[in-house]
Chain A
Amino acid sequence: MAVLTYREALRQALTEEMERDPNVFLLGEEIGRYQGTFRVTEGLLQRFGEMRVVDTPISESGIAGMAIGAAMIGLRPVAEFMTFSFALIAADQLVNHAAKILYMFGGQMAVPVVFRGPAGGGAQLSAQHSHSLESWYAHIPGLKVVTPATPADAKGLLKTAIRDDNPVIFMEHAKLYSTRGEVPEGDYTIPFGQAEIKRPGRDVTLIAYSQPVLLALHAAERLAETEGIECEVVDLRSLQPLDMETVLRSVRKTHRAVVVHEDHRNVGFGAEVVARIQEFAFDDLDAPVLRVASADVPIPYARNLERAAFPSEEDIIRAVKRVLA
């Protein structure tokens, strides 16, 4: 199997889907001539031409609306947000339009569109450029929300997203673009709603998605080496649909769980996971389920403050020890 970066895996998925289906086209800021702010779309303008790799002005509502409109007549646009912090400008198009069109018109018009780009922070991007906010999208009926953590998942899930007939919020992570991993070649797709156990373990279930999966895996290695604690790391991969079966199966085995995400703790996606665990596996729990997440503050610039705001391996280790105490 080829070893690719997360970025290359995404590009491979886009390329393969554009070759497979002439209805797939890309639009977004700096994706063509500039080759993509994070180079995900590098070379695609040269390969597919400007009709299919559409550079846009800085007009997020316009980009989102244009993608939705094209999808309404059967094209399969993949719109890039330079970061998901900028998707907030297009919130009306995502929430009031993309998510509602199928339902409010009685199921007659599907919106097969993908909105993708990096979410999250961690590179001193400060208050306005560090958002994840996946819980906002997962909150909206009609949207699917996907959060790959590895190159293989990035490829398999993006191909599935492009083939999906519903609007998909596909959240990448800037800190993952250069990470490497084995990626199956060719027509590799991963169905939504299938969490994956990234590391088996017997003592505590760590539930994560996107970049914090790597954080959880590192914390799990350290706990295994230093304390002999074996954590099971469950990568949700998609938040809507959400595979609670895999989570509950793990919790029923370990009886203890910690949810890890980079979004703020307050009303974050972890709250939903915890609520469902206590609802369906209350009697299996030996300790309260804890959440490791970003501090409920605007993300600060200063390196030390930013580091303190984001969840860390140490935070995970402390939480694991606490549920075992």
Chain B
Amino acid sequence: MKAEVPVQKALPSSLTPQRLVELYRTMLLIRHFEEQCAPAYRQGKMGGYMHVYIGQEAVATGFIAHMRDDDYMVCSYRDHGHALARGSDPRRVMAELFGRYTGVAKGKGGSMHLVDVERGFLGGYGIVGGMVPLAVGVGYGIRYRGGDQVCLCFFGDGAMNIGPVHEALNMAAIYKVPVVFICENNRYAMATPIDFASAVPNLAERARQYGMPTRQIEGMDLLEVYRHAEEIIHHVRTTPEPFFVEVLTYRFEGHGIADNPTNQALYRTKEEVEYWRQRDPIVSAARFLLENGLATESELLEWDAEAKQQALEAVAYADASPEPPLEELYRDVYTDMEVPEWRY
């Protein structure tokens, strides 16, 4: 797989320097937010599974940048970055990870089930590929109402080996739903390499058979993602038809919190991780800003400090927030009926 060192590029015409800086700062926020997760987890502030997005920030940032307020998105359980890129309050996202009542799902979903209905973020889902059929339904609903929104559907390379994803891709093409299927290929489904797990390791190639346009793009460079995402989303919104895009990316950390460096040594080398860390999307975006005179060294430091501060504030907010009251246990099972308490 090739991942060339990004060369200097001209700014896409739709991207103002100011907007680029905003997106850069979004990536910084995601990075710092995620970096606060492991220590908080180790302190017992969080539980369950916890999957961080470090290394993949350019993907969610570059695609979500093109969403309108009334667009929709769904994603997998590696969802912190998507929520933050969509503009969800980092404090409430962190509070959800802490299992607190102020969290985006009142503390009832946790890391894997972030949501922000007001922003059209219809949730992070914990079953690999499970959200892909849902996205077809969202897209069908858009068509049904005659709208021109789109639905972005983010999932990993592992999802390409689960049956319902293929049912969904076929149905998306049959009904011409305005859904962008964004396969974030970070090379490993947990510890299983995609070139082992997929007989055709080029996932865009695999998806091409479903009768929708497909593309494989480089995912470690914000401008590259932004440029492709703009074209793809515009195509889906105006045609309309679904689009499958495989984004080549890499997670710098383990699959989840339990996938520590010792475990990672079972499936990838330090040299490989280092190779990809050299392609850090935040570093390359910073270089672009500097080389093109769009930011100074001191501004970069200032933005970095601000993002870190935001992440720390999110932790402090989460830590100070109350746990959900026990009545929440029985709430929200149904919209309209009580579940009996069987307790003596």
Q: Shortest CB–CB separation between residue B83 and chain A, in angstroms? A: 12
Stretch binding the partner chain, chosen from B105-113, B184-192, B199-207, B231-239:
B105-113
Q: Determine whether the beta carbon of A65 is less than 8 Å from that of B134.
A: yes
Q: Determine whether the beta carbon of B130 is less than 8 Å from that of A69.
A: no
Q: Mark B109-153, 1 if CB is under 8 A from A, else 0.
A: 100010101000011011100101111111111111000000000
Interface: B174 (CB within 8 A): yes
Q: Determine whether the beta carbon of B333 is less than 8 Å from that of A102.
A: yes
Which chain B positions have C-beta within 8 A of A97? 125, 127, 130, 134
Which chain B positions have C-beta within 8 A of A110? 335
Q: Mark A44-88, 1 if CB is under 8 A from B, else 0.
A: 000000010010110101101111111111110100000000000
Q: Return the chain B residue nearest A73 by Cβ.
A: B141
Q: Determine whether the beta carbon of A72 is less than 8 Å from that of B333.
A: no
Q: Shortest CB–CB separation between residue B39 and chain A, in angstroms? A: 26
**Range class of the B interface residue count:** 35 or more
Interface: A298 (CB within 8 A): no
Interface: A312 (CB within 8 A): no
Q: Determine whether the beta carbon of A142 is less than 8 Å from that of B137.
A: no
**A24 CA to B97 CA in the complex, in Å?**
36
Which chain B positions have C-beta within 8 A of A101? 123
Q: Mark B326-344, 1 if CB is under 8 A from A, else 0.
A: 0000011111110100000
Which chain A positions have C-beta within 8 A of B103? 106
Interface: A96 (CB within 8 A): yes
Q: Determine whether the beta carbon of A66 is less than 8 Å from that of B171.
A: yes
Q: Which listed residue, A25, A51, A57, A164, touches B171 by the CB 8 Å rule?
A: A57
Q: Determine whether the beta carbon of A61 is less than 8 Å from that of B141.
A: no
Q: Determine whether the beta carbon of B133 is less than 8 Å from that of A69.
A: yes
Interface: A104 (CB within 8 A): yes
Interface: B322 (CB within 8 A): no
Q: Determine whether the beta carbon of B137 is less than 8 Å from that of A61.
A: no
Q: Determine whether the beta carbon of A92 is less than 8 Å from that of B130.
A: yes
Interface: B58 (CB within 8 A): no
Q: Determine whether the beta carbon of A59 is less than 8 Å from that of B336.
A: no
Q: Determine whether the beta carbon of B332 is less than 8 Å from that of A106.
A: yes
Q: Shortest CB–CB separation between residue A107 and chain B, in angstroms? A: 4
Interface: B167 (CB within 8 A): yes
Which chain A positions have C-beta within 8 A of B142? 73
**Given contact pairs A69-B137, A103-B108, A109 touches B122 in the complex (Cβ within 8 A):** yes
Q: Return the chain A residue nearest B338 by Cβ.
A: A241
**A110 CA to B334 CA in the complex, in Å?**
9
Interface: A141 (CB within 8 A): yes
Q: List 10 contacting pairs A-B, 8 Å CB cutoff, sorted by A.
A: A57-B174, A59-B164, A69-B141, A72-B122, A72-B138, A96-B130, A97-B127, A106-B332, A108-B105, A166-B336
Q: Could you tell me which A residues sit within 8 Å of B by CB distance?
A: 25, 51, 54, 56-57, 59, 61-62, 64-75, 77, 92-93, 96-97, 101-110, 141-142, 144, 164-166, 193, 241
User: Besides the contacts A69-B134, A103-B108, what 4 more A-B pairs have beta carbons closer than 8 Å?
Assistant: A57-B174, A59-B164, A106-B115, A108-B105
